[in-house]
A and B are shown apart, each in its own frame.
Chain A
C-alpha cells in the first residue's frame, strides 16, 4: 500500500512497479523486465516523432511546475551546430518529496533509459544526472547502472548500435536545496555557487555551459519510456479528471499518517480516498488537521479543501493549493501549526542563496518573527508584518524560493489564524514591543 508496503489495489503502478525488487536494479534484471526496449524503439524513430508522441501523451513536468514535456523538448533546435545538453534534475530536495529517491534506488536503469531517450529526442549527446549529495544510495545505484549501460554499449559513442553518441554522467550535489531550481542546478553543474539565473535567456537558448539545454525531472524522464512503448493514447487515458492532466503520478506521503510511503495513482484520483484509504488515515486517536500536498512550497490545505480535491494539476489549484512535486505532508491535530510553519520558514532561510534582497533578508526575518510567536513572544502587529513581508517576498525575485517561503506563512495565517492568535494572547505583557514603543 505504497512502497515500502505492497501496492494498494487502487494504485496504478507504471513507474513504481519494481520498487522493492532488488533484481530490477541490475542490467540483466532490468532487461528481463522489458528494460531498454523503449530506447531501442526510440533509436529507430526520428527525434521529431518521439517529441510528437510525448506531446500527444499530455505528459507534464513532474518536478513541480507542470510544464508540458513534449513542448519543452520541441524548443530545442537541432542542427544549430552547438552542443546540446540534457540535464536530469535529480536534486529532489523539496521537503516532503522522496519519489525520485525511490525511482533511482530501485529502478536506476529506467532513468538511464529515460535520459537516453530524451537526449536522442532533443539532439543532445550528453546528459548529466544531477543527484543531491545526501542521496548516497541513489547515487550508488545510478553510478552502477551507468557503468553497466556503458559496458553493454547501451550508452556511449554508439548507443545500441545506432551510431548516435549518448553520454550519461552522474553529478553529485553537495547540499543546497536551491540547486533543484533549474538554472541554479546548471550553475552548480558548471562548478559555481548554486545561484539561480535571470530568465530570459531560457535554458533551451542558453542553458548549461551557455548551450541549448533541456532539463527534466527524474519522474518525467522515466515516464517517457512506457509512453513510447504503449503509445500516447494509453497514457492519456490514465486520467479520471481534466484532460490537461494525464498519466500516473507518484506521491510521496509523509507526516502523521498510518502508512507513509510512495504511491502511484492516475491523475484525478480523489484525495480523500487517497488519504484515508490508500494511506490508511490518521494515527490512532488523532485527526487530520491540514495537508501540504506538493512539498513545503505549496499552500497549506485545510481538511475541507483537501477532502474535496481531485489529485491533478488543476484539481489542487481549485482547492487552494498546487500539485507541486507530489510531496504530501499530512499534519494531524497534535501538531501546533505555528511550530510547523516556523520550521518551514527556517528551512527556507537556511537555503536562500543570498542573491535577492527580499529572499536573503525576508526568509530570515520571517523565521525570527514566527519563532518569536511560537515562543509566546508575539504581538498582533507581527501577523500584519508577516503578511506584508510575505507580499514583498512574492513575485519580486529571480527565482521562487522567496515566494515559497511566503506561501505557507500566508496560507497558514489565513487558514489557521486562531492558533497564531491563541499563542499571542497567551501572553499578558510583551517586553520587546514595550521597549520599542
Chain B
C-alpha cells in the first residue's frame, strides 16, 4: 500500500494530523469534536444536503459543509465561531418549522439527533407563525413505518437502499417543501436488511413497528453483545427494559458488520426472553427428577461422569469458554452439534456481510474445539457412553438413540425432549444472560456480555462446567469467564495469544483464521 500523505490543520485551536482526503468532519472526530450533522453517515455516500455541519474556515468566503470538505494543509477551522453557530441555529429553526414537536409521543425521543442538537445549539423559540405541513404516516412494509411530518429529508434511508442494499426501494418524491420519502405501491421494505434505515434515521420519521410504543429510550439498559442468530456475528447492542430484551441494534464494527445488521437477526430476540425455562438444578430420585441444591446436583453429575466415556451433544450457541470446558469432560469420548439453517442473504454493498446460512453464533468455535457438525446429533453416541446434552433441545432427534447411553446429564436452559432419561439437570443461563466469547465464520473471536439477569437459580454455563470439573477432581479455579478464556488460550493453539483485554469489544481473529476473512476494514459501498 502506498504511503498515505498526512495533512496538518487546526480545528478549534487543536492541532490535527490526518490522512489526505479526510473530511473536516472526520478529522474533528479524531480530536473529540463532534460537528453536528444529519445527512452525513460514515457508512453512506456523502450527500451534503442537510447543511447542519457548516463550519467556518479561515480565508474561505463561505461556510464549509464539513462532511463534504476535505482537509487542506494549514487550514484553520472554527466549529463554534459565531458564524458557524448562527448558521446551524438557522438550520435547526428551519428543520423545526414543519416538525410536529410531538416528542412526548415520539419513539425517537431521547435518542433523537434533532432533539439533541436543538437543545445544544438551537433557538429557544420559533418565529414560525404559519400552519405546519401535514402528511399521514405510512406503513412501508417489513419492520418500517414512516412518519413524514417528522422527516428532515436527510436521505440517509434512500442512500442506504440505493447504495448499500443495491435495491432502490425508497425515493425522494415531489420537491420543495412538499418533498417526502416515498416508495412504490406494492414494493415494500422487505429487503432482508431494510430495517437498517430505522437506525440510520436521525429523527423519529422511520420507526420500527416491532419496537413501536414499547419503551422510552431512557428506560432502556444497553449492553454490548453479539447477535447470536447466525455465524456472521454482527456486533449489537441488546436493549432491555425490566430485564426483557425489547430491541437489538447494530454496533459498528468495521471488521464484521460495518454499521448494519439484518432484519432476521434484529427481530429474532424473543427466544432469549422466553419463560419456559429450567430454573432449578434437579436430580433423579424415587419420584423422578426432583429439585436439588447446586452442591447435590453437581456432585451427582460428577459421580455419574466419573471414569466414564462421555459424549457431548452441544449447542453452537454456547460460548468458546463453555465449549472448551465441555471438551475437558469428554475424556476419551466425543462431541457433536447441529445447526439450524436458512437462506443466505447478503448485503450487496458491503464486502463479506451476509445473513449466513448457519443460524447460530459459534459454529466456527465449536468446530475449532473439536465438535463435529452433523445432522445426526446422537450418531456418535456409543453404547455405554454418558450423554451430556449441553444446550441442544433435542427437538426432532430420534430419542431411541438415548437408550445407548448409560446415563444422561442435561446442562441446559430449557428442558430437552427425552429428559425423562436424565439423571441430573443443571440449569444454565442463555446467551443473553452470561458473558463469554464466540467465534464468527471468519474466525473472529468476539466478546459478548450479560444483558439480562438469569431466572431462578440458573447459573452461567462456564461456572457450572467449572464447578463440575472441580468436583471431578480436575484443577479449576475460574472466578470469571476471562479465567476460562486464559486457560483456553494457553491450551489451544488457535486461541494462542488472545485475551479479553486484547480482544476488546471489536474482536480479534484466531491464529489460524481462514484466509477469506477481511484483513482490512470491510469496504462499504463495494460493488
Contact = CB atoms under 8 A, between A and B. Distances in A.
Instruction: Determine whether A and B are in direct contact in the complex, meaning some CB atoms lie less than 8 angstroms apart.
Output: yes
Interface of A: 176, 193, 198, 349-358, 360-365, 368-369, 372, 381, 385, 388, 391-392, 395-398, 432-433, 436
Contact of B175 (A353, A388, A395): A353
Given A392-B94, A396-B54, A360 B177 contact: yes
Given A193-B172, A198-B46, A361-B94, 10 more contacts: A198-B68, A349-B176, A349-B177, A352-B175, A354-B172, A360-B153, A360-B176, A362-B94, A381-B127, A436-B129
B307 to A, nearest CB: 73
Given A198-B68, A392-B87, A354 B175 contact: yes
A397 B51 contact: yes
Given A349-B176, A392-B94, A356 B51 contact: yes
A60 B68 CA distance: 30
23 contacts: A176-B175, A198-B46, A350-B176, A352-B177, A354-B153, A354-B176, A354-B177, A357-B153, A358-B51, A358-B90, A360-B153, A363-B176, A363-B177, A365-B97, A365-B130, A369-B130, A372-B129, A372-B130, A391-B90, A392-B93, A395-B63, A396-B62, A397-B51
B416 interface: no
A396 B172 contact: no
A357 B172 contact: no
Interface string B75-115: 00000000000010011011101100000000000000000
Nearest to A362: B94
B152 interface: yes
Contacts of A363: 176-177
A367 to B, nearest CB: 9
Contacts of B176: 349-354, 360, 363-364
Given A349-B177, A368-B130, A357 B95 contact: yes
Contact of A198 (B63, B65, B93, B177): B65
B174 interface: yes
B304 interface: no
B470 interface: no
Contacts of A353: 175-176
B72 interface: no
Q: In this complex, which of B51, B68, B91 has the most chain A Cβ atoms within 10 angstroms of its Cβ?
A: B51
Given A358-B94, A365-B128, A396 B177 contact: no
Contacts of B172: 193, 354
B234 to A, nearest CB: 32
Give the contact-size bracket for chain B. 20 to 34
A176 B48 CA distance: 21
A398 B175 CA distance: 15
A358 B177 contact: no
B181 to A, nearest CB: 11
Q: In this complex, which of A352, A365, A372 has the most chain B Cβ atoms within 10 angstroms of its Cβ?
A: A365
A385 B130 CA distance: 13
A433 B129 contact: yes
Q: In this complex, which of B54, B153, B177 has the most chain A Cβ atoms within 10 angstroms of its Cβ?
A: B177
B130 A357 contact: no
B448 to A, nearest CB: 40
Interface in B120-169: 127-130, 152-153
Contacts of A350: 176
Contacts of B97: 361, 365
Contacts of A388: 127
A195 to B, nearest CB: 8
B272 interface: no
B95 A398 contact: no
Contacts of A436: 129
Given A351-B176, A358-B94, A198 B50 contact: no
A211 B174 CA distance: 28
Nearest to A379: B129
A355 B174 CA distance: 11
Nearest to B48: A198
B49 interface: yes
Contacts of A362: 94
B52 interface: yes
B397 interface: no
Contacts of A357: 49-52, 91, 94-95, 152-153
Contacts of B47: 355
B480 interface: no
Nearest to B126: A436
B6 interface: no
Nearest to A432: B129
A361 B51 contact: no
B510 to A, nearest CB: 42
A364 B49 contact: no
A356 B95 CA distance: 10
A381 B87 CA distance: 20
Nearest to A381: B127
B215 interface: no
Nearest to B96: A361
Top 5 nearest A-B pairs (CB, nearest first) are A354-B179, A392-B90, A364-B177, A361-B94, A352-B176
B183 to A, nearest CB: 15
Contacts of A396: 51, 54, 62-63, 87, 90
Interface string B29-67: 000000000000000001111111010000001110100
B68 A358 contact: no
A363 B98 CA distance: 13
A355 B49 contact: yes
B423 to A, nearest CB: 69
B63 A361 contact: no
A372 B178 CA distance: 20
Contact of B98 (A354, A361, A381, A397): A361
Contacts of B175: 176, 193, 351-354
Nearest to A178: B175
Nearest to A349: B176
Contacts of B46: 198
A388 B123 CA distance: 13
Nearest to B50: A357
A363 B127 CA distance: 15
Interface in B172-212: 172, 174-179
Contacts of B179: 354, 360
Contacts of B51: 356-358, 396-397
Q: In this complex, which of A176, A360, A391, A432 has the most chain B Cβ atoms within 10 angstroms of its Cβ?
A: A360
Nearest to A392: B90
A385 B90 CA distance: 11
A392 B51 CA distance: 11
Nearest to B65: A198
A298 to B, nearest CB: 19
Contacts of A360: 94, 153, 176-177, 179
Contacts of A176: 175
